[in-house]
Amino acid sequence: MIGAGAIGGYLAALAQWAGLEVTVCVRSPLDALTVETGGEVRRAAVGFATDPARVAPVDWVLLATKAQDTAGAEGWLRRLCGPGTAVVVVQNGVGHRARVAPYVPEGTGILPALAYISAERLAPGRIRHHIASELHVPEGPLADGFAAALADSGLTVRPVGDFTTEAWRKLFVNLALNPLTALLQQRMGVFADPEMVALTRDLLREAAVVARAEGADIGEQDVGNTLEIYRAIPPDGGSSMLFDRLAGRPMEHEYLTGAVVRAGERHGIATPLNGMLLTLLRAVDRELRA
């Protein structure tokens, strides 16, 4: 597991509890990995590595860094990937394969994965899981092998046929939730406001036009489904971008809102609402990086 944030830490714990040997690759040493889930706090007996030179090829690599940190994981990826290794890219956004391919040996199997998991990192090595434990991956032999490896973990690995559409649907889930909670520094309860619901609907409708131009089968039903997902998340739930801002970490807006705006530009489609959000998010991110 490369990355010990909310998603990476939670997935590492699930895999270890299922009996797999798990090593978590991190920049700074951790004493332990604990996860608060289902009303209890459990420790995961994982190993930790801080030096790429001290690891060797493995069967599965899960890359769970933020999308903007992919290049920084190259040292780990080069050491961990052997002839039979597959890399599961658990990141937000679209274009997972193209993002990772430059940093792994030629011919390495790459499996994009969309995480439907609400979790937050309370502190280094301390994760709180809120709701959901599901990964969506493209159909094929890699998907089947990955699902079999995690069959006893409690994680649902769901192979899907039209991954382009699925990736844009997942992007939809993040598209208003992440930017708005981060900009407002509020949790999911903010979406109980009818005006926020209306703004969210307009943001998603604007993005749906872009998604269709990219080949995704996205329509009004997806807008409604996304709003239903927001209503189902507990009011005290948050988003990865919110948690990053609160912790003073750089945000991944370029791979969420930025992906929509750039795709719109490629197709000559105006995206004024998403463009406005991107401008605001870039301003916040500059301050975080200063």
Largest CA distance in the chain: 53
N-terminal to C-terminal alpha carbon distance within the chain: 29
Q: What are the strands, taking DSSP E only, across 153-232?
A: 156-160
In contact, 6 and 120? CB cutoff 8 Å: yes
Alpha-carbon distance of 182 to 238, in angstroms, equals 9
Alpha-carbon distance of 93 to 174, in angstroms, equals 9
Q: Given CA atoms 63, 64, 67, 68 in this order, what sign does their dihedral have?
A: negative
Residue matched to tokens 């489904």: 225
CA distances from 174 to 242, 252, 286 (A): 11, 11, 21
Q: What angle do CA 82, 59, 144 make, to 5 degrees?
A: 120
Tokens for 240, please give them. Answer: 């990865």
Tokens for 254, please give them. Answer: 């370029």
Q: What are the strands, taking DSSP E only, across the chain?
A: 23-25, 33-37, 40-44, 47-49, 60-63, 86-90, 109-123, 126-138, 156-160
Active site residues: 170
- Mapping DSSP to helix (H, G, I), strand (E, B) and coil, where does residue 3 land? coil
- DSSP H/E element including 240: helix 240-246
